[in-house]
Chain A
C-alpha cells in the first residue's frame, strides 16, 4: 500500500481505488444492487420518478426502477464497452503498426496513409456514421468506436517497432535466418506489447466516454439493458424537474472517466510520456 502511494501519489492511488471499486461493482451487481430485478429492467410503476430517499438512495426512473440498481447493472455494460473498444482497437491497430514499422518502404507508406484517412475524421462523427450503418446494439456500438480508435495504436506500435527494428538482437535473429513473421511475433511483439497495453488500459476511460456519447445518441445498447449514456438520455425528458434521473448516471460517467484520467496523469508524470488529445 505504501509502495503504491509512493509510485502513484495520493490522487493516483485514490483514482486506482475508484476504478477497482467500479470493476468490483460491475462483477457483483446482482448481489449488491438493492433491487436486482429492477436493475435488470423490471418496471416498478408504483414508485415512478421518486426523488432520492432512504428506500431509493439515488431516486427512481420513469418506470419506477431504482436508479442505483440501474447504474450498478449499467456499469457492467459501460465498463465492458470501454474494455472491448480498446481490445478491438488493439487487435486491428497492433498488426497494422507492426507490419508498417517492421517492413517499412511501400508497405509502411500504404498502411500509414490509410491510417491517416481514419484519423482525418472527427472521431465521434465517424463512429456515428458507422453505428448508424450497423444499427444500434451492444457489439455494433463497440465496433463503431473501435473503427475510429485503432489508428492511434497503429501509430504507437509503429513508433515502437521503428526503435526495436535496429536493435542488435533483432538483427542477430535476422542473420540467424529467422523468418519475418516469427521475428515479429516472438521478438518484437513482446517488447511493444507492454507499453501499448499500459496505454490501452488508460484509454478505457476516454473509450467509455465515447461509448456513452454514442449511446446518448441512441446508438448504444437497446432497452431494457441500460448503460450510463442511455440513462442520461432517458432522463433528459424529465430534466431539470426530476434532475436525479440524468444527474446520477451523468455523475457516474464523470467520476469513472476522471479516475482514469487522474490515474493516467499519475503514470505519465512518472514516465514522462507524451499526452494525447482525445475527442
Chain B
C-alpha cells in the first residue's frame, strides 16, 4: 500500500516536472531570442516577409495563449518545422532518437561491465595498488573532458592501431551498397532481424569508441560505489563463513559478496543513461554519429530554435521517465525507500 502511494506520488510529481520543463523550454526558445520571426523568414528577409513570419508563428498573440499553443503542440508530438531545412522535426526525431538511445543503452551496459568488476577487485585488494590505480582512474574519469577523451580514443584506436572505425554508424559498404531495412532504428537489432551478421558486426564495431567515451565517467562512479558496498559486505558473517568453508576467492567475491552489493547498480544505470544523453551532444559531433546530439549541434549553428527546443523536450522527457522508473525499481527492490 505504502509502495503504491509512493509510486503514485512520484508519478504525479514527474508529470508536474514535465509541465514545468515545457514552460521553461517555451520561455527560453520563444521569449528570450530577440527576433524569432527574422530567423524564421530566412536569410536577409524583407519587412513583409518578417511580418508574414510573425503571423505564421503567432508571435503577436499574448504570451499565455502562445504557451497554450506550444504546450498542446508538444503534447501531440507536433514539434513544428525546422527553420533551416523546412522539414518536419517529428520526422527527423524518429530517425535520430534511436541512434542516440542505442548509444546510451550500450554505454550504460559498458559502464557496468567495466566499473563493477573493477570495484570488486579494488575492494578485495583494498589499499593496495589495484585499488589505488582504480581510485585514481575514477577521479581522472570525472576530470577528463568528454570531447577530448573522444579525440584521444580516435587517435589511438582508429588512427594508430586501425582496429576500430574512426566515425559513423555503419561502413559505407553497408550503408550505401547494401542498406539495412529500418525496423527498430537500432542497427544491431535491425541487422539481426534481417539475418545480416556482417552488418551486425559492423554496427557493433562502430559503437565501441563513442560508447566507451560515454562510459568512462559512469564506470568510474560504478567502481567507487561497488568498492564501498563490497568493503562493507566482505566483513559480513556469510562471507566469513564462505571463507571458512574454503571456497575459492573468485567464488566468494562474485558468487557470495557481489550479489549483495548490487544496490548501487541501479543508481549507476540512471546516472549513466543521463550522462550519455547529455554527452551525446559532444560525442556525436566528434564521431559523426547521426543522433540527436549532432542534430541539435547543427541546429545551434543555424539558430534553429524549434529544433533545439524539440530535442531539449524529448531528451528531458526521456530523462524524467528514466529517473521515475529507477526510483520505482529502487522502491521495489528495497521497500524501505518508499517509507523515507
Neighbouring A residues of B32 by C-beta, 8 Å: 130, 133-134
- Please indicate the chain B residues that have their CB under 8 angstroms from the CB of A229 in the complex: 145, 147
Contact B20 A253 (CB under 8 A): no
Q: Does A265 belong to the interface (CB within 8 Å)?
A: yes
Task: Knowing A128-B281, A205-B143, A258-B140, say if A121 contacts B21 (CB, 8 Å).
Answer: yes
A262 located at the interface, meaning its Cβ lies under 8 Å from any Cβ of chain B in the complex = yes
- The verdict on A219 contacting B300 (CB below 8 Å), with A117-B20, A124-B278, A240-B154 known, is yes
* Segment of B58-66, B248-256, B313-321 in the binding face: B313-321
Report A-chain residues with C-beta under 8 Å of the C-beta of B312.
121, 125-126, 128-129
Map CB proximity to B onto A105-142 as digits: 1 under 8 Å, 0 otherwise.
00000000110111011111110111011100000000
Chain B nearest CB from A68 CB (Å) reads 18
In the complex with contacts A240-B154, A262-B139, A279-B274 CB distance below 8 A: yes
Interface residues on A, range: 35 or more
CA distance A257 to B323 in the complex (A): 28
**What are the residues of chain A within 8 A of B278 when measuring CB–CB?**
122-125, 279
Cβ of B301 within 8 Å of any chain A Cβ, yes or no, is yes
In the complex with contacts A117-B24, A125-B312, A217-B297, A277-B271 CB distance below 8 A:
yes
Cβ–Cβ contact A279 & B275, under 8 A: yes
Q: Is the interface of A mostly helix, strand, loop or mixed?
A: helix
Residues from chain B with Cβ under 8 Å of A117 in the complex: 17, 20-21, 23-24
Check A217 against B300 for contact (C-beta < 8 Å). Answer: yes
**A275 to B, closest residue via Cβ:** B224
Is A216 located at the chain interface by the 8 A CB criterion?
A: yes
Q: In the complex, what residues of B have CB within 8 A of residue A116's CB?
A: 13, 17, 20
Complex Cα–Cα for A260 and B278 (A): 22
A residues contacting B by CB (< 8 A) are 113-114, 116-118, 120-126, 128-130, 132-134, 205-206, 209, 212-213, 216-219, 229, 232-233, 236, 239-240, 243, 246-247, 250-251, 253-254, 257-258, 260-262, 265, 275, 277-279
Task: Known A-B contacts: A120-B20, A123-B278. Give 17 more (CB < 8 A).
Answer: A113-B20, A116-B13, A120-B316, A121-B312, A122-B277, A129-B28, A129-B29, A133-B32, A133-B33, A217-B300, A236-B151, A247-B151, A250-B148, A254-B148, A257-B145, A265-B139, A278-B142
Interface residues of B, Cβ cutoff 8 Å to A: 13, 16-18, 20-21, 23-25, 28-29, 32-33, 139-140, 142-148, 151-152, 154-155, 159, 221, 224, 271, 274-275, 277-279, 281-282, 285-286, 296-297, 299-301, 303, 305, 308-309, 311-312, 315-316, 319-320, 323
